[in-house]
Amino acid sequence: MADNQLQVLNALDVAKTQWYHFTAIVIAGMGFFTDAYDLFCISLVTKLLGRIYYHEAGSLKPGSLPPNVAAATNGVAFCGTLAGQLFFGWLGDKLGRKKVYGMTLMIMVLCSVASGLSFSDKPKSVMATLCFFRFWLGFGIGGDYPLSATIMSEYANKKTRGAFISAVFAMQGFGIMAGGIFAIIIASIFDAQFPAPAYAEDALGSTVPQADFVWRIILMFGAIPASMTYYSRSKMPETARYTALVAKDATKAASDMSRVLQVEIEPEQILEEISTDKSKSFSLFSKEFMKRHGLHLLGTTSTWFLLDIAFYSQNLFQKDIFSAIGWIPPAQTMNAVQEVFKIARAQTLIALCSTVPGYWFTVAFIDVIGRFAIQLMGFFFMTVFMFALAIPYNHWTHKDNRIGFVIMYSLTFFFANFGPNATTFVVPAEIFPARFRSTCHGISAASGKLGAMVGAFGFLYLAQSPDKNKTDAGYPPGIGVRNSLLVLGVVNFLGILFTFLVPESKGKSLEEMSGENENNEQNNNGSRNVEMV
């Protein structure tokens, strides 16, 4: 054991992988499972909402959400998530991880249910209600990011900490897949019970009145997995690192972890000098903080921001890819519920083939080759594949070459998940002091959500054709898909550069990474000097 580390923290660092580790992964991971389900299930039902509430009599195509309504419906949860990451990240350092963890879950449960309700059957009222509750749903989801990562990092041993935090994040993949599978089941049931003709055959009759229940059920189902873990979260003890290093109660930390680890840990008194030492009392964003951790925070915020621009820009190409390989036929050849089925099937296949494997490759290798190498490799291959898609873009548009485009596209997002999409979540939970850990993770995650908004909505406008006659309805001219891909290639290259600001934390204790050991060592040395005198 390091002389300058509390026994309880050392016990956590060297603990063998035990049942409580897996329990913590499941409890925290189910939150992320729900987060992903709630954030991504809206994309399954936006086409259905357009058919139900924005049908235009005599139109050759089914109704669709106007651009501003579509942007609000899809993006309002991101705004809530960004606010929640900042607020609950800060609150997790002020009140403790455990106290705040239950709050975020209850918000998610209540708002998942409420987002499936509406105060009227008028389009504006339905959309306003949906957006209102999805903002607060996002607010709860936002809190789960810093708290789940911080709790898992503070519970884990240093040998497998990266894999444990990554495993929590990897539950996102299963959440996306579960959303698709549940939507497939609901759509299949409704299509069998309430058959309807295709839009081309009967425009009005293709959307049966019962289709209004489909989107509500899909959105409200997200409350179930979240509510299942509430009791377990309430029974988790506060993390020993928060109790010992922030609340200054090493005796309680030792007692809690003795029970969890099922080993005897002798309680220790924390020297008074630790809490009064000026070198350790610096505040967030103070000169001392910026000197010690400023570049690290710039590294975690910038890389997450750049990664999410590229990651969420996938919306640009999905409709072309799905139609190119026949997963989603033209909208007018299906009824409303069938379209939900086809979109859900496509999302499930993408999650199964690309998203989920990438996450679990990270879990397998993060403690072998390290966070830095995985992040650098991920950004590198994303840069290569983006430029490989962009430079010969006209080649990929030919029908015979579409399958190649799909493969390149899939590899781009495989290396996003076996790369920076996972590591940007892991690293901020490891490199900052305990009293700022949740806050700094929340700031980093919020920066990522800002990038997600740029990627999902900025590029939706940017990728429009320069020819105003070829743009999608309601959109102004943009720079085109090819130029957008080139910009995304540059974004990924910048990610490579900013990765060099992020330190490697593989195999190191949290106190070693944050510099808290140095402070304790100084205090211990000071105490020994006093004793000698």
Instruction: Give the HSE-up count for residue 364: Cα atoms under 13 Å, Cβ half-sphere.
Output: 8
> What is d(CA 232, CA 192) in angstroms, rounded to the nearest whole number?
38
- The pLDDT tens digits for 255-274 are 877 777 766 666 665 444 44
Measured CA distances, 134 to 83, 139, 141, 362, 462 (Å): 13, 8, 10, 30, 26
Question: Encoding tokens for residue 389?
Answer: 């898609």
Is the separation of the CB atoms in 150 and 438 below 8 Å? yes
Helices vs strands, H then E, count in the chain: 26, 0
Is the separation of the CB atoms in 32 and 169 below 8 Å? yes
Question: Encoding tokens for residue 199?
Answer: 């839009």
| Length of the chain as a residue count | 533
Q: 441 pLDDT exceeds 80? A: yes
Is the separation of the CB atoms in 198 and 333 below 8 Å? yes
Question: Encoding tokens for residue 77?
Answer: 């949860």
- The pLDDT tens digits for 386-397 are 999 888 888 877
Residue reference for tokens 């997450």? 304
Is the separation of the CB atoms in 177 and 44 below 8 Å? no
> What is d(CA 530, CA 533) in angstroms, rounded to the nearest whole number?
5
- The pLDDT tens digits for 367-384 are 999 999 999 999 999 999
Under the banding of pLDDT at 50, 70 and 90, the label for residue 421 is very high
- The pLDDT tens digits for 321-344 are 676 667 788 888 999 999 999 999
Nearest to 154 by CA among 2, 361, 11, 298: 11
Task: For residue 487, give every residue at least 6 positions away whose Cβ sits within 8 Å of its Cβ, in sequence order, or none.
Answer: 459, 462, 479
Nearest to 296 by CA among 408, 230, 371: 371
Question: What DSSP string runs through 430-475?
Answer: TSS-TTTHHHHHHHHHHHHHHHHHIIIIIHHHHTS-SSGGGSPTT-
Is the separation of the CB atoms in 175 and 69 below 8 Å? no
Average pLDDT across the chain, whole number: 86
Residue of 318 and 148 predicted with greater confidence: 148
DSSP state of 242: I
- The pLDDT tens digits for 469-489 are 777 767 788 888 888 889 999
Task: For residue 97, give every residue at least 6 positions away whose Cβ sits within 8 Å of its Cβ, in sequence order, or none.
Answer: 147, 150, 151, 154, 238, 239, 242, 438
> What is d(CA 163, CA 60) in angstroms, rounded to the nearest whole number?
51
Radius of gyration over every alpha carbon of the chain, rounded to an integer in angstroms = 25
- For residue 388, the tally of other CB atoms under 10 A from its CB is 18
This prediction has a pTM of 0.89
Q: 5 pLDDT exceeds 70? A: no
pLDDT at 152: 92
Average pLDDT of the segment spanning 351-359: 85
Q: Is 269 left (phi over 0), alpha (psi -120 to 50) or beta?
A: beta
